[in-house]
A = this chain, B = another copy of it.
Amino acid sequence: MANADCVSVRVFSLNCWGIHYLSKHCSQRYQMIGEMLCKEQHDIVLLQEVWSEKDFLYLKVKLASTHPHSHYFKSGVIGSGLAIFAKHRIHDTFLYRYSLNGYPYMAHHGDWFGGKAVGMAILNIAGLTANVYVTHLHAEYSREKDSYLSHRVVQAWELQQFIRHTSTGADVVIVGGDLNMHPQDLGCRLLMSYTGLKDSYIETAKFDGCENGMTLIADNLFISKNELIPFEKGIRIDYILFKGSSTAKIYCDFMSTTKGSVPGHPLPYSDHEALTAELRLESHIPAQAGSGKTHDTPAEKLAELVDTLTEARTEVKVGLHCAERMRYTAARTGVMGLALLVLELAIAAVPCFALGAEQPFPRISFYLLAALCFAILLTTFLLYIFYTMELKSLQGAEDQMRLAVGSLQEKLRGFPVAQPNDAPQRSPEGQQPSALDPEE
């Protein structure tokens, strides 16, 4: 395994504010983000609030040559909104969905539907195993009367648990995301002190960006000043965190944030500022292959594992089709319930068809029918939501499996998977499922 003494890794993190029809200039901003990422060529790009998979796919196509490796983390009703793009091959991914995430009936806050989570990707950078995490915690809608505080504290707790327990074998740990917490907030302290993660804004040798490293600023076009009260100038709630290990040290040489507007563009990238950290990795001891004991697996075992995984993918796909059919049935039944209700109301609205007060039976029927329609609508709505969540989970598992099969097949073919510097040079097809698995 290669042992580089010193490698530079540029990490980018941005909350993309990608709510179509609600976020302003969404498509235009994605275009700007795509162009900037193409140009800047960061090693690791961590995005949050990429709520629409279409936007992820748009970026995936746009970044195919600069960032051939990517993963979109699916969860909840809408999705986790988390995405990662990397120059280096992603060997493995895993998602942990927070057990608490707001309330479904607080639909205007929307957090519950997003299925907030922390996504992990294992990368090999210059012979070092890097565990990269991207996350987005529950928003703070009111600092004075924060009804989600306990949820966010539990999320911070689960985040540190997940990072701590999954990163034991890693040489370096990199975490990026929108924590929705100020640096001195309880959850932040919990996360930092328990994991030993360091804040790149605090640790950086040089900084260029907003005052106090703020990432939600009053100078941003999309920010209403009222939101920020009592923090007039802004707040810092987005972070890039890192830590090394006994095998590798990690430093932050330079950090920057955008400052609201983007030079040469009429719009900012998002309502949040983008963060870039230039990290320097120094490997101390010849790096151990910490990421997987399967590295030593003989070829026939690997082939067997690929077969098993392929079988599992097929089974998950069967489940996917089944869930899709169920969701379709729920939607169709819902539409029929709605049609029935409309028809009934139309009949009632037309006076000549109106039910006479002398006919007790039709009147009862009318109300019973209306009640039935509402019951159908409610039930099918709940079922639709549920099947959407099921679909997301199945798709998420299938994505993880596809990535794993790709990694294993590459190993089987004798590709130098553990050799890191080749990865970025390889064509993006290596990441495309079609090239990895003919049954796709």
Chain A residues in contact with chain B, CB under 8 A?
A: 75, 92, 94-97, 99-100, 103-105, 120, 147, 149-151, 153-154, 156-158, 161-162, 164-166, 168-170, 186-187, 189-190, 193-194, 196, 245, 290-294, 297, 301, 304-305, 308-309, 311-312, 315-316, 318-320, 322, 357, 360, 363-364, 367-368, 370-371, 374, 378, 383, 386, 390, 393-394, 396-397, 400-401
* B193 lies within 8 A of A304 (CB): yes
B386 touches A104 (CB 8 A): yes
For the complex of A and B, list the 7 residue pairs with the smallest distance between their C-beta atoms, beginning with the closest: A150-B319, A168-B169, A99-B393, A367-B367, A165-B166, A154-B397, A153-B315
Specify which chain B residues have a CB less than 8 angstroms from the CB of A316 in the assembled complex: 150, 153-154, 157
Contact A196 B293 (CB under 8 A): yes
Given contacts A149-B318, A363-B363, A370-B371, 15 further A-B contacts (CB under 8 A): A150-B318, A150-B322, A154-B394, A165-B165, A166-B166, A166-B168, A168-B168, A168-B290, A186-B315, A189-B308, A193-B301, A194-B294, A245-B293, A363-B364, A364-B367
Can you give 29 A-B contacts (C-beta < 8 A)?
A75-B99, A94-B162, A97-B99, A99-B396, A99-B397, A100-B393, A103-B386, A120-B165, A147-B322, A150-B319, A153-B312, A161-B400, A165-B166, A166-B166, A168-B168, A168-B290, A168-B291, A186-B308, A186-B315, A190-B312, A193-B305, A194-B308, A196-B293, A196-B297, A245-B293, A360-B363, A363-B363, A364-B367, A378-B378
Closest chain B residue, CB of each to CB of A192: B308
* Contact indicator B194/A315 (Cβ below 8 Å): no
- In whole angstroms, how far apart are the Cα atoms of A292 and B309 in the complex? 32
Q: How near does chain B come to A405, taking the closest CB pair, in angstroms?
A: 11
Give the dominant DSSP class at A's interface: helix
* Alpha-carbon separation in the docked complex, A154 to B395 (Å): 10
Q: Bound complex: CA of A318 vs CA of B322, how far in Å?
A: 42
Q: Which residues of B contact A319 (CB under 8 A)?
A: 149-151, 153-154
By the criterion CB–CB under 8 Å, are B151 and A186 in contact?
A: no
- Contact residues in B for A157 (Cβ distance below 8 Å): 312, 316, 397, 400-401
Nearest-neighbor residue (CB-CB) of A156 within chain B: B312
Q: Is the CB of A150 within 8 A of B371?
A: no
- Per the bound structure, the CA–CA distance linking A322 and B150 in Å amounts to 10
Please state the number of chain copies in the assembly.
Answer: 2
Contact of A394 among B100, B105, B308 (CB under 8 A): B100
Taken together as a complex, chains A and B put the C-alpha atoms of A320 and B120 apart, in Å, by 29
A162 vs B311: C-alpha distance when bound (angstroms): 20
A364 to B304, CA, bound (A): 68
Contacts of A322 in B (CB 8 A): 147, 150
A94 close to B149 (CB less than 8 A): no
Q: How far is the CA of A154 from the CA of B394 in the complex (A)?
A: 7
Q: Using Cβ atoms and an 8 Å threshold, which residues of chain B touch A162? A: 94
A367 and B371 in contact, given A165-B166, A186-B311 (Cβ under 8 angstroms): yes
Q: Which residues of B contact A386 (CB under 8 A)?
A: 103-104
Residues in B with CB closer than 8 Å to A95 are: 99
Alpha-carbon separation in the docked complex, A282 to B241 (Å): 38
Output the least CB separation between A256 and chain B (Å): 29
B394 touches A315 (CB 8 A): no
Closest to A188 in B: B308
- Kindly list chain B residues whose C-beta atoms are within 8 Å of the C-beta of A189: 308
Distance of A161 Cα from B386 Cα, bound (Å): 24
Quick one: which of B150, B158, B308 contacts A190, CB cutoff 8 A? B308
Q: How far is the CA of A316 from the CA of B315 in the complex (A)?
A: 40
Tell me, rounded to whole Å, the shortest Cβ–Cβ distance linking A383 to chain B.
8
Interface centre among A99, A196, A292, A396 (most CB of B within 10 A): A99
